[in-house]
Structure 1
Amino acid sequence: MRRYYNNLCSLLVAALLLSILLDSCQDTWDSHYQTEESTNRELLLSKAEASSELSTFVGLLEKVGYDSVLLYPQAYTVFAPVNEAFDGLSDEVINDPVQLNALLGNHICRFSYTSLDADESPRIRMLNGKYEDFTISDGEANFGGAALVSQDIIAGNGILHTIGSLVAVKPNIWSYMLQSDEFPKIMSYLTPYNSMSFDVDNSVAIGKNTLGEVIYDSVFVASNSYFSVIGDLNSEENSYTFLGLPDDVYNTVYTRFEPYYSLPDPAAVTSTVDKVIMDNLVISGVSKSELTGSYRRTSTGTWIAVSESEVVSETKLSNGYLFVMNEMNLDPKLVVYKSSRFEVEDTEGRTIGKTSDLTIQKKYDISASGYFKNEVSLLVAPDASNSNNYFEVSFDEVASASYYIYIKFAPVGASASCELKYELSYSNMDGTTTTVPIEGGLVTNDLNERVKIGDTYTFPVYVNRSENSTYSVKLKVFVDVSDAELVLYTREFGIDYIELVPAQ
């Protein structure tokens, strides 16, 4: 009994001591937590003011009014340059409120970004509207190319990092090009498209007129209407790479394309080739080091090969990169001198002779190029005028170059074979038309392949039907089975498409 009593007393004493110890630890932890919480509740401005190495940065913030921004109760990230970073800053910038505001705004952004976010390499929109990269380089986080000196200082309204150098305000691609004299031919093409657009984000509403419409202290920005084709090089929201061609490189590319766009009017040739080149100078934003020589898609959909060896210099800008090129591998076979295919089910550009006697019925077939093949049936015998036994197709885009002609046949379950013949017609430079009969032959009722017809044909004029050109390249397909031949042949056959294929 005495042993039990002694053990119970020992347990009670131990429990009391443990309780006292836990209370003491809790008091210590609460004190530590409250101190840390109090420290973290300090706003970004207080954090910066508390650091002697940021005194120049804080002083300049006060000069332009950005100090009040860092007192707002919303999340910001500040990449604060240390005092030494401002040593080379010119008096012109320090004394120009516009330039100084833009520079300081290039170091502050909304939302919180810790050093861990640099693993994702985000493009961060800064308060001045520009974008900067937050990345990992050599295992260390850096902002806009500036190394972080200290990082992840938590404040009540965001994150503070310090950096060892200023991150200069970069122009965007278009601003840079407007100040550059490296690309005379490119700029002479783009300049007529220059325009001024209303900047609604930076214009300030100052009242209303008598009609109740808002009146703005308006801000206009320089832009270019051609950007609707190639991408807005004046926008900070996207990342592009512009392939800048000095005049000698431009002329080389022009000479490569000119023969494929032969037209009677030399000015029309020039404008057409210039547009082809200009439409293929923008790719998605990549640096020179990311180029491998593989094909990249331009903003207008053409595939071009771009390798690091073709880039003389690279300029990093706020919305991407500008390359100065010593060569450009823009291939005519990927732009204009390529296959021109006509799907026979397409009624636009297709003509049928005397439709009451000839029918073309579109039928679904997953093996066909457009998932459709066509059952062509002639109802009556061909006559001498050939007005009721053909259909004709017009090709969309044909270079002034040499082509083969292919027809892809498809079985339609006809009971016998059919005989066909053909007629090619194309425009000449003087506006006349050349017509070439092409010998046909037997089309078996189970034929399911692409067949070459005729020889090699060279077209003297560039044709683009989508631009309402008066020039054309057309092919007629005739059914060539008389009444007497119906014991051997049918007037029914299947076809998928007709295609012009480059012969070089």
Structure 2
Amino acid sequence: MNKHLLMKTIKYILSSILLISGIYACNDDWDSHYSQEEQVVNNVNITVVNKSAVDYLQSQPELSTMYQLFSETGVLDEMIEKDLLFTILVVNDDNALSRAVVTDDRTFLAKSHISDISLSPSNLSDGQRVLMWNGKYINVSKVENEDNATSISFNGIAVKKITKVNNGYVYEIEDYVETPKSLYELIEGLGDDYSIFREMIMERNQLTFDKEASKIIGVDETGSNVYDSIFIVTNPYFEAQGFNMMSESLSATVLIPSNEVVNRALTVARQNLQEWGMLREDSILENWTFQSVFFDKKLSKSDFEANIDLNSIFSKQWRTTVQQVDLENPVSLSNGVAYYVTDMKIPTNVLIYRVKDYMRWYEYLSEEEKALYFDNENLTFDKMETKVSEWSGWPGVFPNIINRVVRFKTTDAAIKEYTLNFTAFSYDEKNKVTTPYKIPPGEYDLCLGFEQKMGHDVEVSFNGEYVGTVTASQLTKTDFHYDRGGQGYPEGYDVNKATDKKKTNYDRDGGKVGVITIEGTEPVNVVIKFHGINASKCCFHHWCLKPTKNCY
């Protein structure tokens, strides 16, 4: 067979196929055949219409509400421009009007009902996820009933009717599909009443130029390419905690405080600090108000009720018995859940990192002040002594300090005991002013520094309550040796970054004697009683109160 004859034969075969197809397309039996192939859904056959999706929506009076939604939000124009295959979810007027979704983002709502893929019932599977135009996934449920009919739902909303149009499928459902915003989208869209919290997050965003996604649209006068630039929004501050609030795979919780809640918490915190005679940087207080409210798991009401403390992604403590959250009205998110905070307290252990001061101020006191703050029995001042001159474990970052101690001898050596009732005070070197400390209620670790190998036991009491005994045996070690050992370091001190060879000795809390609790609601003066047993001399370096997690 020559080439010309072969081509003629092929054209004849194709024409015959097209003719046969046209006959079936015009035959009423074709719709019936198509429906049988597709499956029965809720005992309703698929309707096939020879119209585009846009034309079909416009032709159905009972879908006028959805048509208006798609039209006013530009979805219809976008469908025509794309000229693709679609899956569209619609709600008839009866349901749309009676179950209207309360939202200020109608474009987001409209785009949650359309997908750039044509999905027939036979191509849907139980548990499938479908990406919609608003960038959110909806979940497909497909269950075969006892009568062999198949029930389909999207995000739990049942399908009532299916129509196959020329460029896809239209599924009529019983209610609007809700595709929650992501955690990031929720925060980004917060109104002016939440602007403080919103901006705390948004100001940490970073725009990164995406060269791969950007198109070259010309060349400038230097010969460099000019791009129709695409930028990616990231938030490295949160991502450093392994927390990408823009990711749909995240499962998280955010607690959202209003401007009123944040400002009230900051005002109370500043008033407390002023009453206590203490200072704290505003940035620490402000940062806590957002660092404490992000969690890397989805928390339910029962989680708040069953746990006293929740720890945020920034390792900040959220005490559920103190902070107030509206647990009755959670906001579902595509990657977690949100709750609104009704009242917030910045914890005492945030306002106070630690209170640490030195006994060496003794040498600057008047005789009256010495009698007041160092009230004692059987002690006589011996001398002041500098054990280590100025140094820093992290030079250039942390200030120089000195190890200077005050020494006493027993007045009557035969008694071999002494008592020192020390009233904690601060000393202003510049103005030469002495002020008693006022410590707020709460639970604290009491830490002290003496001198290694003092050779006797020291019973310690706090505001009249016995705390513990530092034994001569303990004092042979370095835990209570000045402030070289014991508990932690000054705030922000990273021993891994410090450079001095004795960096682990720098400005520590000192040895822990025990836990003390200040009761009541008002700050109090502090009296630490030292009772030395079998002693002929003593040496004091510092005292320290370190708030515990219960100092909230």
**TM-score bracket relative to the smaller structure:** 0.3 to 0.5
TM-score by length of 1: 0.46
TM-score by length of 2: 0.43
